[in-house]
């Protein structure tokens, strides 16, 4: 993780400190050796910390406390100084251009830095523990009549390794929210149950077993590609994860199953819909293991199909043009875990990044997830989705 953007991180650490030192501290405190040491000490610590994390071959350390501490320090100290430096630099340019007496960028930078610290603290605490239940009512002409009113609960992107320690209570509260949904016919999980290793899932099984039986697929984090290992070790890690996840329900690996509706009186529907699940279908650097033909082989052409696919980019790239799947459920994006004035960074790289999308009567729903590798969310709460299917009259 750090290794991939080590150069950018070092720039963000060093440049603001150099700018502030040259424009403020050097002229006022040059004679005071203690002040000079105190100013540069955090910068030196963060540079050494960054270089140390950059030596790790895996995506992140096995003990996530190291990366979480780093991100916390970065958000509380480095990012605010970077905001101040940018605002101050722009203020200097405006002052020179309009011959102003004062650089108002200083004040703006102080305010923006303070807002940045407050937003980061909020995102680490209240933001990451907030859960919303979103509801969608979708109508289809070819939905079997017996499935009118059929309710599907979708959850996604648990990343249970992030909930180790004091955050376990957040996972417990999220599972309680899933369990509290009434009159549910089907629970679907659309991938990324772990961060990097199946041991994370194994450790959280006492909590995860409280979930209703769910049908799931694998996400990009579930293929052990974030741990540098031999193919044999990676294969063993995937098999271990699938075995653990199978204890929670049914894992679909480029496969499908027929689904009957079970009514309150115990009757089973005479008709079925089909639940299909592809393996992850991502663009580089994400794994691409999906096989749409194999996933749908044997399903009647006239059938109603719900597809589970972790990566929503597969919907327009492959599922829409090469199948008749009526409803696709995805996750992966987390909604960017942050939204400011309606803008999400994931919108820049993903055409369908959050919520409901429709194309000629066929739907995609992208769930914001219940977790994330980085325990931070701002204006993007964790999500449980309740989808009700209706037959068009």
Are 104 and 39 in contact by the 8 Å Cβ rule? The answer is no
SS3 258: strand
Question: Which pLDDT score, from 0 to 100, does residue 30 have?
Answer: 56
How far does Cα 124 stand from its chain's mean position? 15
Q: Output the pLDDT for position 31.
A: 61
Helix, strand and coil percent figures for the chain, each rounded to 5: 45, 20, 35
Burial class, 333, CB count within 10 angstroms (exposed 0-12 / middle 13-18 / buried 19+): buried
Question: So what's the pLDDT on residue 33?
Answer: 72
Residue 90 φ/ψ, nearest 5 degrees: -65, -40
- Tell me the DSSP string of 268-290: EEEEEEEEEEPPPB--TTS-B--
Whether omega before 285 lies within 30 degrees of 0, making that bond cis, reads yes
| Radius of gyration in angstroms for the set of CA atoms belonging to the chain, rounded to a whole number | 25
pLDDT, the chain, mean: 92
In CATH terms, 131-391 corresponds, of 3.60.21.10, 3.50.50.60, 3.40.50.20, 3.40.50.2300, to: 3.60.21.10
The per-residue pLDDT for 140 is 96
CB-based contacts of 239, cutoff 8 Å, min separation 6: none
Check if the beta carbon of residue 210 is closer than 8 Å to that of residue 217.
Answer: no
* pLDDT the model gives residue 36: 73
- What is the reported pLDDT for 28? 62
Locus of tokens 């919907």: 315
CB 198 within 8 A of CB 164: no
Nearest alpha carbon to residue 81 among 114, 49, 103: 114
Amino acid 39: pLDDT: 79
- Mark the ranges of the chain whose per-residue pLDDT is less than 50: none
| Predicted local confidence at residue 20, as pLDDT | 85
SS3 314: helix
Most distant CA pair in the chain, distance: 87
- pLDDT attached to residue 156: 98
Q: How far apart are CA 114 and CA 192, in angstroms?
A: 34
Residue ranges of the chain assigned to CATH 3.60.21.10: 131-391
């Amino acid at each position: 993780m750090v290794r991939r953007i080590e150069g950018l991180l070092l720039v963000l650490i060093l440049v603001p400190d150099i700018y502030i030192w040259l424009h403020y501290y050097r002229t006022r405190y040059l004679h005071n050796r203690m002040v000079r040491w105190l100013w540069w000490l955090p910068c030196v610590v963060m540079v050494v910390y960054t270089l140390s994390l950059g030596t790790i071959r895996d995506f992140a350390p096995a003990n996530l406390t190291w990366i979480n501490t780093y991100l916390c320090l970065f958000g509380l100290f480095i990012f605010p100084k970077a905001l101040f430096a940018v605002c101050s630099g722009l203020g200097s340019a405006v002052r020179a251009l309009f011959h102003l007496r004062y650089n108002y960028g200083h004040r703006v930078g102080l305010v923006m830095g303070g807002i940045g610290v407050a937003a980061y603290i909020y995102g680490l605490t209240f933001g990451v523990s907030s859960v919303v239940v979103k509801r969608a009512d979708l109508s289809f002409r070819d939905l079997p009549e017996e499935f009118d009113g059929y309710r599907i609960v979708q959850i996604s992107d648990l990343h249970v390794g992030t909930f180790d320690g004091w955050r376990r209570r957040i996972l417990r509260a999220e599972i309680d929210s899933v369990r509290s949904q009434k009159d549910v016919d089907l629970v679907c999980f659309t991938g990324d149950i772990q961060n990097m290793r199946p041991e994370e899932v194994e450790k959280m099984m006492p909590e995860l077993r409280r979930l209703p039986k769910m049908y799931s697929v694998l996400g990009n984090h579930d293929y052990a590609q974030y741990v540098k290992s031999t193919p044999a070790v990676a294969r063993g890690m995937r098999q271990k994860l699938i075995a653990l996840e199978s204890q929670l329900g049914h894992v679909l690996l480029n496969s499908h199953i027929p689904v009957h509706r079970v009514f309150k009186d115990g009757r089973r529907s005479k008709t079925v819909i089909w639940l299909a699940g592809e393996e992850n279908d991502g663009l580089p650097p994400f794994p691409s293991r999906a096989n749409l033909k194999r996933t749908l082989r044997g399903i009647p052409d006239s059938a109603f199909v719900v597809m589970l696919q972790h990566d929503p980019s597969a919907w327009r790239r492959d599922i829409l043009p090469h199948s008749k799947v009526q409803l696709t459920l995805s996750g992966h994006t987390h909604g960017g875990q942050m939204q400011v004035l309606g803008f999400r960074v994931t919108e820049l790289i993903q055409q369908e990044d959050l919520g409901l999308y429709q194309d000629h009567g066929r739907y995609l729903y992208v769930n914001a997830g219940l977790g994330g590798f980085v325990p931070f969310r701002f204006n993007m709460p964790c999500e449980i989705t309740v989808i009700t299917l209706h037959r068009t009259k």
